[in-house]
Structure 1
Amino acid sequence: MIKRSTDHNMDPPQSMNWHSLTHAEVRQALHAEMDGLTDAEVKQRIVRYGPNRLTPPKRRGTLLRLLMQFHNILLYVMLGAAVITAFLGHWVDTGVLLVAVVINVVIGFIQEGKAEAALDAIRAMLSPHATVIRNGSRREIEAAELVPGDIVALASGDRVPADLRLISVKELRVEEAALTGESLPSEKSTETVSADAPLGDRYGMAYSGTLVVYGQAIGMVVATGGTTELGKINQMLTGIQSLSTPLLRQIDRFGRVLALAIIGMSAATFVLGTLWRDHTPAEMFMMVVALAASAIPEGLPAIMTVTLALGVQRMARRNAIIRHLPAVETLGSVTVICSDKTGTLTRNEMTVQRILCAGHVFDVGGTGYVPLGDFSIDGRIIDPDHYTALSMAIRSGVLCNDARLREEDGMWRVEGDPTEGALLVAGGKAGFSQHAGDTAWHRIDSIPFESQHRFMATHHRDGDGESWIFVKGAPERILDMCSSQLNHTGEHPLDVDYWRRMATDTAAQGLRLLALACKRAAPVDGQLAFSDVEGGYMLLALVGIIDPPREEAIHAVSECHHAGIRVKMITGDHAETARAIGAQLAIGVGKPTITGAEIAMMDDAVLRRVAMEVDVFARASPEHKLRLVQALQDDGQVVAMTGDGVNDAPALKCADVGVAMGMKGTEAAKEAADMVLADDNFATIATAVREGRAVYDNLKKFILFMLPTNGGEAMVVIVAILFELTLPLTPAQVLWINMVTSSTLGLALAFEPAEHGIMSRRPRPPGEALLSGFFVWRVLMVSVLMMTGALGLFLWELSDGTSVNTARTMAVNAVVVAEMFYLVNSRYILAPVTNWEGVTGNRYVLLAIAACLPLQIAYTHAPVMQGIFDSTSLSPLEWGRVLGAGLLVFCGAELEKFVIRRTRLASHLVSA
């Protein structure tokens, strides 16, 4: 017997590869025995290792979190605008701006609190209780009291309370999808595996937070709290800093540049006006304040929020639930999508795709659990009843089966093992249902599947009273039980080499294999026993089963490729299965498949190169997924990551856009994600990317609308000061223009539908500046057109002897009408709007213009407004001239679009 030890200097449990050690080695390393620890040993170890719970991370206090929400350039701009409008006595504007600031702060505060809930969701997965053996007796304790060396008993329905090295197992199956991504429960044993075996292949281990779905076991605790696999994931989550989105980074840079430009313009205007043109400092100060107020894009945060919120609503109608508002736009800039396989790219419904009989290979049509599909040979549809071996194999798969196939409300679902469900669906396609099996082929007895025997057997009696024994299981096990095979001419001696070759070729294509066999015989003692299944069977078929890709996912992957987005599959499944599914989805075709073990051997530089070159990654652990996402981001990619398990949570949080599954996803995954797919469908991601691109387009359109309008107003005043002209606009009139156009016109662009061909573009470069050279040109051009129209009209009227107030009224209206026309121009950045769709395609544009017109009419003709702004009524002829100034901007903008389109077309033809 190994001597117990109370040495506090023993090696920490987390330093061991427990899955590679024998039971004796584990007991020796932990100084423990099968009769359990003593109370004294437990006390010592609880001091050494701490309680079996995940340590909550250090968090900022509530007040600090709230104050940090104000640290945003957009909010600084809005607060600056609020101070200026308050100084000028425009209290309504001030109130609106402050409310917008408060709303943005509250939204950010709430979202940060939700992100922290991901860690809480992981801690909630720990089992609250555990059954242990201590001092030689069994007792139930709080799971937090477990220590390394404790002996824990597991039973069906238990959540594993700590990481355990299994010592004895009885038909134990553990649902580990949350950690490994495996779609089927893992069958456990007590055998050792190699030290570098991936987590999904460590059959002698049971991990904290996973669920026992069948059987019983005894295990020794080898890791608790933060040293468990679940704890390591929790630590990874704690160490990941949330990334800013491309849009927020762009807006931040844009805001800084714009703020400097506004300050510089205002200072230069003040100096020129006072020192060069001898305007009074008071007059120039008021004008500079008005100019600054007009130039500050106080409408941008509101428009951005509205645009993103509208995108959220549209995505929600398409089963994409956005949890973090800026993620809407980030989706539009995604360059790489890393997707889980099971249930996202595939249906998560095991399906028989191929049945291999002696002499024939049959393809099975149809996907999922709907029992509809054809049987074919080389594309030629056949009747299964005309092929004896096929018909008998289908019957065997249905009868030797414990699952149930049910239809409820038009939906087919399987109760029981998904692989057995696939056999039932294949039987339904051939017309042999479970119901027929229960009546004409009554089951008398059975031997359930056991991992050490690797087969299931059932005893039936047919309609003639003949006894049959059917078996199904692992091909190599069933081959050992068979002495003959059935083909279209009858029973023949078994050709072992043929079946092994077929099994190898089919497994290499990623299909899970089952062998089916039978013999016409009755149990020797009346009850089915292992002695009845030792030999003498006739092999019927090998069945190839796979979780097939979704049809819509195939189309969505193609659409993403067309849009210049790389799609990568990162799964915990086996490499052969991942490669086969990838080929059907056109992911990674002609490229190698990399496993998690290979990733672990790569340094960061090598992984960065491999991450871009390879598209299919298999047997990936949480650390591997996280490293892959970080490697892609280090290469400058904008990464969307999908996942459903706890193992996916670190990568989801690290990615630019984390996408969790809503139907089968864990709470930890959902809380770590920015978006949740209500239908667990990859096609929904492609739809969301399209919507994200439309959102970004609309934000660009708003900025291209806002800056020239503000620039036009500023240039009118600056030119007048430079050339010592009468000011065409007073400070109050500048603020009126700004208020009317910002509150009515610009908002309409948030409702702009996606342009045609939006998914034919390449993703925009992640580092692309919001103010590109083209943007600067467009802003300057339209600003000059607006200035020319308004200032030219003002000077023309003065030269005709019109009063200054009337000329100013016409200048104000010229600017506003020009903005109305330019709003229509702004619907498309380059496409023409000189058609019915261009004019009427967005009804909100027409509504915005309709709302703005009465305000301008009131400004011009209402006595109250005339008293406030010194405006005067205009004649129809004068209104006509105002309209002409607006048309100047419209025609100039459309002409510029035409020239750019022709230039780009000519350049494309030359390069082609």
Structure 2
Amino acid sequence: MEVVDVCAGRVRTHNLDTIAAELSPLLISLITEGIALNTNGSVYHPEGQSEPEVFGSATERAILNFGVKLGMNFDEIKSKSTIFSVSPFNSRRKRRGVAVQLHDSQVRVHWKGAAKTILASCQWYMDKDNIAAMDQERIFHFEKIIDEMSKEGLRCAALAYRTFTDEAFPDIPESNLVLLAIIGIKDSCRPGISRAIQQCRNAGVKVCMVTGDDLLTAKAIAMQCGILRGTLDEPANTAILASEFASMSEADREEIAENIVVMGRSSPDENLLLLEALRKKGHVVSATGKGIRDAPSLRQANISLAMGIGGTAIVKECSDIIILEDNFTSIVKVIQWGRFLYTNAQRFLQFRLTVNASALIICVVVAVHSHEIPLNVAQLLWINLLNDTFGAWALASEPPMDNLMRRPPVRKGEPFITNLMWANVLLQVSFQVSALLYLNFHGESILKLENKSLDQANKVKNTVIFNCFVFCQVFNEVECRTSYQGNTFSGILKNHLFLGTILVNVILQIIVIECLGIFFYTARLNLKQWLISIGIGFFSISLPPERRSYIRRKRLIKSWTCCYRKRLKENNLEADVDKSEE
């Protein structure tokens, strides 16, 4: 933050390097005194350096740097006076004041805060070296300057003072003040913020700006960031004063809460009212903050995020997630990785359901029919070992996909296993069970085992079934990694860890079949039998065209529904207009 616009002593300038020459010494003295004494920050002059180091909050540092440009000697001003009373800043009063005892036995009060709040308490203003009365024309003039600064996206603050004789008072006087200066502080949007907000919008996440700044300032900043787009399709009440929102009935608040994008001059209580209204409408609400005033909202939000650098200890205590970089773009990463973990859990569950259901059905059917099990205990343990280690590792290695941020959020109460997952599981289980049962009952003729003994033929047949089942799961992993994409092999060559895991899986299966038959009760297979095993497994991934058609139908139905709702809404609006005209 930095001060970029100043109005003081009938002078308004954007060039702070020359402002000291344009103001009178008395006015500069009063402004620098107010800045140095009425602050929580500090200025340190290191030895051997010309530029001082400024400490404090972002706003305090901006105002202190403005004082330094006016020639403020921070330590000297502090040493010439004694602060005996402080009125701390709070979000409702939006001002901070101090009462100081000067060396000439005078008492001087300095106030700093929101420009319109301070202006309302002023009866005079500094006109160069003189104090002039504040008439209606001057009030209108200063209000116009504040509005101009606010429309440029500047945070407007004002400095005022009042001098008393040596007297004691319990509370610092807040009225009949003398206006010293109105300053505009620029808080530039960070690089990438507009793109991050657009990504949130594409992901179905609505970004709302709830701030203690003036509504004009908030709207200007929201336009710069892309929160407000200024388009004709934006609903009414997108920007509102917090006091107006709080004065509404509970039913009215719930009705317009979904339309609000910017809320200015908001206090912690009013933040809570908006949050509660959104939650009552069934929305999942996330809140971000860094100051103490944000703590109540963070406690009540479904998901709370605190700033790691500028956040206070109590805010970090109340939050679910701490953003180390203090950057909104990190929230996009939080959303993306949250969806990625959710999708990964769905992938693995779909994979495990397919494996377990297929193995169970095959073993039960064959056991009932032939009173024997095609997959023995050692083979089932090996299948579980491959799936629980290499299968999970392979699916977890898939990086977050770009389409995650183009999908709508999962609504509260939606089933974890979606219809698409059930469809994939049903198709895979049906194919694997059908193929392997057919191989079990007709394996002797398919594999040309009529000339072998019964025991040897059963051993080879069961080995082929075991091998086919493992390769079905290998290719099932390939399908599960892109459950929500049309192209099964999309980006597979870029994921070296996934390919390496699949390769290790295949090599271990070859070793088991060819070298460890004594432990798994398997027979060595010839080239034809290996090709049959791999072919049956590979054929399982020829199912995605049906899945893609399902996705296309689902998207088409969704687009038709959206168009229908939009057209219905327009017709309703036209009907309302016709009724009003009648």
Do both proteins adopt the same fold according to a TM-score greater than 0.5, normalized to the shorter chain?
yes
Task: Give the residue type in structure 1 aligned to 2:477.
Answer: L
1:599 pairs, out of 216, 227, 246, with: 246
User: Do the aligned partners of residues 529 and 717 (structure 1) sit closer, same or farther apart at CA in structure 2, a change above 3 Å counting?
Assistant: closer
Q: Deviations over 1:448-480 (max 9, x none)?
A: 8988997999x9xxxxxxxxxxx9975578872
Contact 2:6 2:181 in 1 (8 A): yes
Contact 1:394 1:427 in 2 (8 A): no
Aligned to 2:286: 640
Give secondary structure in 2 for the equivalent of 1:874: coil
Aligned to 2:353: 707
Q: For residues 292 and 78 of structure 2, what CA distance do their matches in structure 1 show?
A: 43
Aligned to 1:852: 505
Task: Give the residue type in structure 2 aligned to 1:840.
Answer: L
Q: Deviations over 1:101-141 (max 9, x none)?
A: xxxxxxxxxxxxxxxxxxxxxxxxxxxxxxxxxxxxxxxxx
Q: For residues 359 and 565 of structure 1, what CA distance do their matches in structure 2 show?
A: 46
Task: Give the residue type in structure 2 aligned to 1:809.
Answer: T
Deviation at 1:806, TM superposition (A): 0.9
Q: For residues 470 and 407 of structure 2, what CA distance do their matches in structure 1 show?
A: 34
User: Do the aligned partners of residues 550 and 390 (structure 1) sit closer, same or farther apart at CA in structure 2, a change above 3 Å counting?
Assistant: farther
Q: For residues 164 and 275 of structure 2, what CA distance do their matches in structure 1 show?
A: 52
Q: For residues 909 and 597 of structure 1, what CA distance do their matches in structure 2 show?
A: 37
Q: Deviations over 1:207-260 (max 9, x none)?
A: xxxxxxxxxxxxxxxxxxxxxxxxxxxxxxxxxxxxxxxxxxxxxxxxxxxxxx
Identity across matched positions, percent = 24
2:528 pairs, out of 846, 865, 877, with: 877
Contact 1:749 1:845 in 2 (8 A): yes
Task: Give the residue type in structure 2 aligned to 1:557.
Answer: I
1:805 pairs, out of 459, 464, 487, with: 459
Deviation at 1:860, TM superposition (A): 1.7
Q: Deviations over 1:770-826 (max 9, x none)?
A: 222222111111112222443344444322326111111111111111211221222
Aligned to 2:199: 559
Task: Give the residue type in structure 1 aligned to 2:522.
Answer: S
Task: Give the residue type in structure 1 aligned to 2:475.
Answer: F
1:354 matched to 2:5:
yes
Contact 1:569 1:582 in 2 (8 A): yes
Q: For residues 777 and 545 of structure 1, what CA distance do their matches in structure 2 show?
A: 57
Q: Deviations over 1:848-897 (max 9, x none)?
A: 2233234323432335xx3444211111221111111111112333x334
Give secondary structure in 2 for the equivalent of 1:564: coil
Give secondary structure in 1 for the equivalent of 2:402: coil
What RMSD over aligned residues (CA atoms) do the two structures have, in Å?
A: 4.9
Q: Deviations over 1:383-441 (max 9, x none)?
A: 965997489999779855426556999x996336866642453578xxx575xx669xx
Aligned to 1:74: none
Contact 2:10 2:128 in 1 (8 A): no
User: Do the aligned partners of residues 804 and 600 (structure 1) sit closer, same or farther apart at CA in structure 2, a change above 3 Å counting?
Assistant: farther
Contact 1:355 1:544 in 2 (8 A): yes
Q: Deviations over 1:165-195 (max 9, x none)?
A: xxxxxxxxxxxxxxxxxxxxxxxxxxxxxxx
Deviation at 1:352, TM superposition (A): 1.8
User: Do the aligned partners of residues 838 and 443 (structure 1) sit closer, same or farther apart at CA in structure 2, a change above 3 Å counting?
Assistant: closer
User: Do the aligned partners of residues 387 and 652 (structure 1) sit closer, same or farther apart at CA in structure 2, a change above 3 Å counting?
Assistant: closer
1:747 matched to 2:397:
no
- With normalisation by structure 2, the TM-score equals 0.69
Q: Deviations over 1:628-681 (max 9, x none)?
A: 444433322222222345554454344322223333444443333221222333
5+ residue gaps in structure 2? 88-95, 103-109, 113-117, 167-177, 231-236, 451-456, 564-582
Task: Give the residue type in structure 2 aligned to 1:595.
Answer: A
Contact 2:199 2:405 in 1 (8 A): yes
Contact 1:728 1:811 in 2 (8 A): yes
Deviation at 1:747, TM superposition (A): 2.7
1:818 pairs, out of 454, 464, 472, with: 472
Q: For residues 269 and 375 of structure 2, what CA distance do their matches in structure 1 show?
A: 62
2:156 pairs, out of 493, 512, 519, with: 512
Give secondary structure in 1 for the equivalent of 2:5: strand
1:480 pairs, out of 109, 124, 134, with: 124
Aligned to 1:414: 54
Contact 1:511 1:545 in 2 (8 A): yes
Contact 2:239 2:263 in 1 (8 A): no
Aligned to 1:840: 493
Task: Give the residue type in structure 2 aligned to 1:635.
Answer: K
Aligned to 1:659: 305
Contact 1:748 1:848 in 2 (8 A): yes
Give secondary structure in 2 for the equivalent of 1:758: helix
Structure with larger RCO (C-alpha < 8 A, sep 6+): 1
Give secondary structure in 1 for the equivalent of 2:124: helix
Deviation at 1:688, TM superposition (A): 0.7
1:697 matched to 2:343:
yes
Deviation at 1:746, TM superposition (A): 2.5
2:315 pairs, out of 644, 650, 669, with: 669
Contact 2:287 2:298 in 1 (8 A): yes
User: Do the aligned partners of residues 722 and 808 (structure 1) sit closer, same or farther apart at CA in structure 2, a change above 3 Å counting?
Assistant: same
User: Do the aligned partners of residues 448 and 482 (structure 1) sit closer, same or farther apart at CA in structure 2, a change above 3 Å counting?
Assistant: farther
5+ residue gaps in structure 1? 1-348, 364-374, 376-382, 460-470, 486-490, 518-527, 532-537
Give secondary structure in 2 for the equivalent of 1:818: helix
Aligned to 2:543: 892
Task: Give the residue type in structure 1 aligned to 2:242.
Answer: T
Q: For residues 484 and 52 of structure 2, what CA distance do their matches in structure 1 show?
A: 49
Q: For residues 426 and 719 of structure 1, what CA distance do their matches in structure 2 show?
A: 83
Give secondary structure in 2 for the equivalent of 1:883: helix
1:501 matched to 2:145:
no
User: Do the aligned partners of residues 530 and 758 (structure 1) sit closer, same or farther apart at CA in structure 2, a change above 3 Å counting?
Assistant: farther
Task: Give the residue type in structure 2 aligned to 1:707.
Answer: L
Contact 1:594 1:614 in 2 (8 A): no
Deviation at 1:566, TM superposition (A): 1.8
Contact 2:478 2:488 in 1 (8 A): no
Deviation at 1:498, TM superposition (A): 5.5
Q: For residues 416 and 179 of structure 2, what CA distance do their matches in structure 1 show?
A: 68
Q: How does 1:143-154 map to 2 (within 5 A)?
A: none
Task: Give the residue type in structure 2 aligned to 1:501.
Answer: F
User: Do the aligned partners of residues 502 and 817 (structure 1) sit closer, same or farther apart at CA in structure 2, a change above 3 Å counting?
Assistant: farther
Contact 1:579 1:593 in 2 (8 A): no
User: Do the aligned partners of residues 647 and 607 (structure 1) sit closer, same or farther apart at CA in structure 2, a change above 3 Å counting?
Assistant: same
Contact 1:652 1:669 in 2 (8 A): yes
User: Do the aligned partners of residues 456 and 627 (structure 1) sit closer, same or farther apart at CA in structure 2, a change above 3 Å counting?
Assistant: closer
Contact 1:825 1:833 in 2 (8 A): no
Q: What count of residue pairs does the alignment treat as equivalent?
A: 500
Deviation at 1:570, TM superposition (A): 4.1
Q: For residues 307 and 319 of structure 2, what CA distance do their matches in structure 1 show?
A: 9
User: Do the aligned partners of residues 481 and 768 (structure 1) sit closer, same or farther apart at CA in structure 2, a change above 3 Å counting?
Assistant: closer
Contact 1:823 1:845 in 2 (8 A): no
Contact 1:720 1:728 in 2 (8 A): yes
Contact 2:482 2:488 in 1 (8 A): no
